[in-house]
Chains A and B, each alone.
Chain A
Amino acid sequence: MDELTKLGRFSEPALHVMISLAGAAKHGYAIQDDIERLTGHRPGPGTLYGAVRRLEEQGYIRALQERDRRKPYELTAAGNAVLTAELQRIRLLARTGLTRLAAT
């Protein structure tokens, strides 16, 4: 998690936000709902926007035009690349762990 670890305690929420935005652009409330569905845990507004701010600063996501007084966010190309690399790393890690567990 080289790139996302720079985000400190917001690295895990940041990963969830990026995964949530991987399908389509979403506003804050929709991101909260999506992360709750994905992880079973609904992030608080402070945690969510702490991650959003850092991701925006890094250029991994960007805000779109306001719709219905809500501002949607979408992944940028850089964010797409970082998320892809991160998920591949997690997949490799998970596969290795599962293989070792199966061998015991």
Chain B
Amino acid sequence: MSRPFAVRTVLRLYPAAIRDRYGDEIADLLATSSRPGHDLADAAWCALTERGSVMHGSINRAVVLRTIKLVCVPLAFAPVLLAFASVAAVALNAFPTVGQRVVQIVLAAAVLPVSLLAWWLGRRTTAATAAAPAIPVALGVGVAALASVPILGEALGEQWPAAPLAAACWALILTATITLAGRLRRSGRSRAAVTTSVLGGLVALDTAGMAQMTSAVNAEAAPRAAAPLWYLEAVSGLDLGSAAGLPDGAFEMLKGSPAVLTVSTVFALVLAARRRTGVAAADPVVVDAG
């Protein structure tokens, strides 16, 4: 390998900004060096150091900050859900004759406006977060963390670690869903990508409900044959008889987990879809301030 070629190769290792500023001077010293092997190795090592520090400084720190913000999203959704449910509860006080089941359905309905809010937020949030498959992982960590907070975390289920386990299952399946949908979208199959996202999201939520319930309640109280209905019963407040052994069915046992995960699913799928299509880059930033 000739020295000019070696010099050019080493200079290419430098970040462009540093190469533009000091490249000629470094090349001059390398060209006239009395110990070219040593100096080429020194420049190559320093170039990689510079590249590492540039990545560490500009990319990694930004990605870490944005991922932390994603982890915090469920922490924001939970009080909003609670606020909507509280408004519904106050409104129900005006109708003292309504039954317990109606109360549950109305409280569960809080998931609808908050899902719309999540959809809007997903549309407005910059897509320059972490990689798309990392979005559900970050959100799942947030849900698991919230569920692990003493007393407060019981709003997502009283049996620890059932809710964090559910969040882990949800994140795993949603990550696979987003990865698959992204591949379909890149190959031009947009409709298949949307179908995959919707079905994958439902499977993720249903699996999370099953994981939480099976780890918290025995088969006698919640027959496993009805497992696929647990999430649906909990998120809707309807009595589907899926947990007949429990006084208030799956709604009471799973508490706020299905609602928080449903809202997080909407947010994750919308955000991931926008990241794949790259639409968000031109849009205003709402959540992301990093």
Does residue A45 face the partner (Cβ distance < 8 Å to B)? yes
Rounded to whole Å, the gap between the CB of A51 and the closest CB of chain B is 10
Interface centre among B21, B29, B32, B43 (most CB of A within 10 A): B29
Interface centre among A46, A49, A69, A71 (most CB of B within 10 A): A46
Q: What residue in chain A is nearest B26 (Cβ atoms)?
A: A45
Does residue B208 face the partner (Cβ distance < 8 Å to A)? no
CB contact list, B21-67 vs A, under 8 A: 21-22, 25-26, 28-30, 32-33, 38-39, 41-47, 49-50
A69 to B27, CA, bound (A): 12
A53 near B28 with CB under 8 A, answer no
- What are the interface flags for A18-29 relative to B under an 8 Å C-beta threshold, 1 for contact and 0 otherwise? 000000000111
Q: Which residues of B contact A71 (CB under 8 A)?
A: 25
- Known interface pairs A44-B39, A46-B44. Does A53 touch B32 (Cβ–Cβ under 8 Å)? no
Rounded to whole Å, the gap between the CB of A36 and the closest CB of chain B is 11
The prevalent SS among residues of B at the interface is: helix
A47 to B45, CA, bound (A): 9
Tier of interface size on chain A: 10 to 19
Q: What residue in chain A is nearest B27 (Cβ atoms)?
A: A45
Q: Which residues of B contact A43 (CB under 8 A)?
A: 42
Rounded to whole Å, the gap between the CB of B112 and the closest CB of chain A is 53
Cβ-defined partner of A50 (8 Å) among B25, B30, B39, B49: B49
Does residue B89 face the partner (Cβ distance < 8 Å to A)? no
B21 near A45 with CB under 8 A, answer no
- Known interface pairs A29-B28, A70-B28. Does A45 touch B18 (Cβ–Cβ under 8 Å)? no
Cβ-defined partner of A44 (8 Å) among B22, B28, B32, B42: B42
Cβ-defined partner of A53 (8 Å) among B18, B29, B39: B18
A43 to B30, CA, bound (A): 12
Q: Which residues of A contact B18 (CB under 8 A)?
A: 53
Tier of interface size on chain B: 20 to 34
Q: Which residues of A contact B22 (CB under 8 A)?
A: 49, 52-53
CB contact list, A1-34 vs B, under 8 A: 9, 27-29, 32
Q: Which residues of B contact A83 (CB under 8 A)?
A: none
Q: What residue in chain A is nearest B46 (Cβ atoms)?
A: A46
A29 near B29 with CB under 8 A, answer yes
B46 near A47 with CB under 8 A, answer yes
B49 near A45 with CB under 8 A, answer no
Does residue A61 face the partner (Cβ distance < 8 Å to B)? no
Q: What residue in chain A is nearest B34 (Cβ atoms)?
A: A42
Does residue A48 face the partner (Cβ distance < 8 Å to B)? yes
A50 near B46 with CB under 8 A, answer yes
A43 to B45, CA, bound (A): 13
- What are the interface flags for A75-91 relative to B under an 8 Å C-beta threshold, 1 for contact and 0 otherwise? 00000000000000000
Give 6 A-B contacts (CB < 8 Å), ordered by A residue: A28-B26, A44-B38, A46-B39, A46-B44, A46-B47, A50-B46
Residues of A within 8 A of B (CB): 9, 27-29, 32, 43-50, 52-53, 69-71
